[in-house]
Chains A and B, each alone.
Chain A
Amino acid sequence: CVGSLDEKYNVDPKSPTTALASGFVANAERTLVRTLVSTNVNLNPFRFYVQYWAATDYPNESRYDLNTRSIPTGFWNALYRDCLRDLREAKANIPSDITIPAESKDNALAATEVLEIYTWATLVETYGNVPYTQALDFNTARPAYDDQARIYTDLIARLDVAISKFNPAANTGFFTTTASADLLNNNSTALWLKFANSLKLRMALIIADVDPAKAATMAAATTGKVLASNADVIDLAFNGTFPNTNPLYEDLVRSARTDFAGTSFFINRLKGTAGPVTGVVDPRLNDYFNPVTSTTQPAGTFTGGTYGSGNSKSLTSLPGTKLRGQTLPGVLMSYAQVEFMLAEARERGFAVGGTPESHYNAAVTASITEPQWGGTAAEAAAYLAEPTVAYATAGGPGATYKQKIGYQKWVALYNQPVEAWTEWRRLDYPVLTAPNTAISGIPVRLLYPVVEQNINGENYAQAASAIGGDKVETKLFWDKF
Chain B
Amino acid sequence: QDRTISGRVTDRANGQGLPGATVLVKGTTVGASTNADGGFSLSVPSSATTLSVSSIGYTTVDQAIGAENTYTVSLAADVKQLGEVVVTALGQERTRNSLAFAATQIEGNQVTAARNPNAINGLSGKVAGVQIRQSNTMGGSTNVLIRGTKSITGNNQPLFVVDGVPISNANTNTSGQQTGGGGYDYGNAASDINPDDIATMTILKGAAATALYGERAGNGVILITTKKGRQGLGVTINTGVTAGRIDKSTFITYQKEYGAGYAPEFVEEDVDGDGVLDNVIDLAADASIGPRYDRNLQVYTWNAFQPGSPNFGKKQAWVAAENDPSTFFKTAWTTNNSVVIDGGNEKATFKLGYNNVRETGILPNSSIDKNIINFAGTLNLTSRLTASSSVNFSVVNGFGRYGTGYSGTYAENLMTNFRQWWQTNVDIKEQKQAYDYANLNASWNLTGPGSSTAQYWNNPWWSRYKSYENDSRYRTFGNVALTYKVTDWFNVLGRVTIDSNDDLQEERMAYGAVNISGYSRYNRTGREANFDLIGNFKANVAENLSFTGLIGANLRRESYKSIRATTNGGLVIPELYTLTNSFSPINPPVESETRRAVDGVFAAATLGFRDMVFLDLTARSDKSSTLPEGSNRYFYPSASLGFVFSEALKETTPWLSYGKLRANYAEVGNGATPYSIADSYDKPTAFGSVALFSVPSTKNNPLLKPERTKNAEIGVEAAFLNTRLGFEANVYQSNSIDQIIPINISTASGYSFRYVNAGDVRNRGVELSGFVVPFRNDNVTWTINANWTKNQNRVMSLFEGADNIVLTTYQGGVSSNATVGKPFGSIRGSNFTYLNGQKVVGTDGYYVPSATANEEIANPNPNWTGGISNTVSYKGISLYFLVDVRKGGQVFSLDRSYGLETGLTPETAGLNDLGNPSRNLIADGGGVIFPGVQADGTPNTVRAENSGYASDGAGGYDPTFATAYGTSFNPAAAFVYDASFVKLREVSLTYSLPKTLLAKVGGVKGVDFSIVGRNLWLIHKNLPYADPEDAVSSGNFGQGYSTGAYPAVRTVGANLRLSF
The chain A residues found within 8 Å of chain B, CB to CB, are 1-3, 5, 9-20, 22-24, 26-27, 30, 56-60, 63, 65, 67-70, 73, 76-77, 80-82, 84-86, 88-89, 130-131, 135-138, 140-143, 176, 178-181, 183, 239-244, 254-258, 293-296, 306, 308-310, 312-315, 435-437, 449-457
Contact = CB atoms under 8 A, between A and B. Distances in A.
A21 B746 CA distance: 25
Given A19-B693, A69-B813, 12 more contacts: A2-B598, A2-B624, A16-B693, A18-B681, A293-B448, A296-B269, A296-B277, A309-B960, A313-B447, A436-B950, A437-B950, A454-B804
B852 A308 contact: no
Nearest to B622: A2
Given A86-B694, A141-B746, A12 B593 contact: yes
Contacts of A313: 284, 447-448
Interface string B734-748: 000000000111111
B750 A84 contact: yes
B1058 interface: no
A457 B803 CA distance: 9
B852 A296 contact: no
B418 interface: no
A85 B750 contact: yes
Contacts of A14: 591-593
B interface secondary structure, majority:
loop
B689 interface: yes
A295 B624 CA distance: 70
B959 interface: yes
Contacts of A19: 681, 683, 693
Contact of B555 (A1, A17, A27, A449): A1
A309 B951 CA distance: 11
Given A141-B799, A295-B450, A310 B262 contact: yes
B806 A454 contact: yes
Contacts, number: 271
B679 A17 contact: yes
A15 B591 CA distance: 9
12 contacts: A22-B691, A27-B684, A30-B692, A59-B961, A141-B800, A176-B689, A243-B587, A257-B514, A309-B960, A435-B952, A451-B744, A453-B852
Contact residues on B (Cβ < 8 Å of other chain), bracket: 35 or more
B695 A85 contact: yes
Contacts of B695: 24, 85-86, 89
Q: Give me the 6 closest cross-chain CB pairs, A-B, nearest first.
A: A85-B750, A23-B693, A15-B680, A131-B748, A141-B745, A68-B813
Interface string B932-947: 0000000000000000
Nearest to B752: A81
B285 A10 contact: no
Contact of A256 (B516, B584, B953): B516
Interface string B665-698: 0000000001101111111110111111111110
A9 B285 contact: no
A418 to B, nearest CB: 19
B181 to A, nearest CB: 12
B749 A143 contact: yes
A352 to B, nearest CB: 35
A2 B597 contact: yes
Nearest to B627: A10
Interface in B582-600: 584-585, 587, 591-593, 595, 597-599
B619 to A, nearest CB: 19
Interface string B567-611: 011000000000000001101000111010111000000000000
Contacts of A138: 699, 745, 749-751, 754
A343 B945 CA distance: 49
A130 B569 CA distance: 39
A293 B269 CA distance: 12
B172 interface: no
B958 A452 contact: no
B263 to A, nearest CB: 7
Interface in B616-642: 623-626, 632
A12 B569 contact: no
A11 B675 contact: yes
Given A57-B284, A436-B951, A437-B960, A68 B852 contact: no
A407 B9 CA distance: 100
B456 interface: yes
B656 interface: no
B854 A296 contact: no
Interface in B910-962: 950-953, 958-961
A127 to B, nearest CB: 10
A309 B749 contact: no
A76 B277 CA distance: 49
Contact of B749 (A1, A24, A137, A294): A137
Contact of A176 (B455, B690, B817): B690
B565 interface: no
B879 to A, nearest CB: 51
Given A2-B624, A138-B750, A453-B854, A314 B693 contact: no
B690 A181 contact: yes
A183 B625 contact: no
A258 B593 contact: no
Given A10-B625, A256-B514, A309 B961 contact: yes
Contacts of A67: 813, 830, 853
A127 B520 CA distance: 40
Contacts of B689: 176, 178-179
B596 to A, nearest CB: 8
B802 interface: yes
Which of B569, B830, B958 counts the most chain A CB atoms within 10 A?
B958
A165 to B, nearest CB: 23
B961 A256 contact: no
B967 interface: yes
B958 A308 contact: yes
Nearest to A310: B961
B805 interface: yes
Nearest to B817: A454
Given A138-B750, A141-B743, A296-B270, A13 B692 contact: no
B412 to A, nearest CB: 13
B556 to A, nearest CB: 10
A86 B800 CA distance: 27
B895 interface: no
A138 B951 CA distance: 50
Contacts of B803: 457
Which of B593, B749, B802, B968 counts the most chain A CB atoms within 10 A?
B749
Nearest to B697: A81
Contacts of A136: 748-750
Contacts of B514: 256-257
Interface in B792-831: 799-800, 802-806, 809, 812-813, 815, 817, 828, 830
B78 interface: no
B267 interface: yes
Nearest to A454: B804
A15 B681 contact: yes
Contacts of B680: 11-12, 15-17
Contacts of B647: none
A69 B813 CA distance: 6
Contacts of B286: 57
A286 B98 CA distance: 86
Contacts of B743: 141
Interface in B738-788: 743-752, 754
B449 interface: yes
Contacts of B687: 26, 30, 183, 239, 244
Nearest to B285: A57
Nearest to B515: A256
A360 to B, nearest CB: 35
B677 A80 contact: no
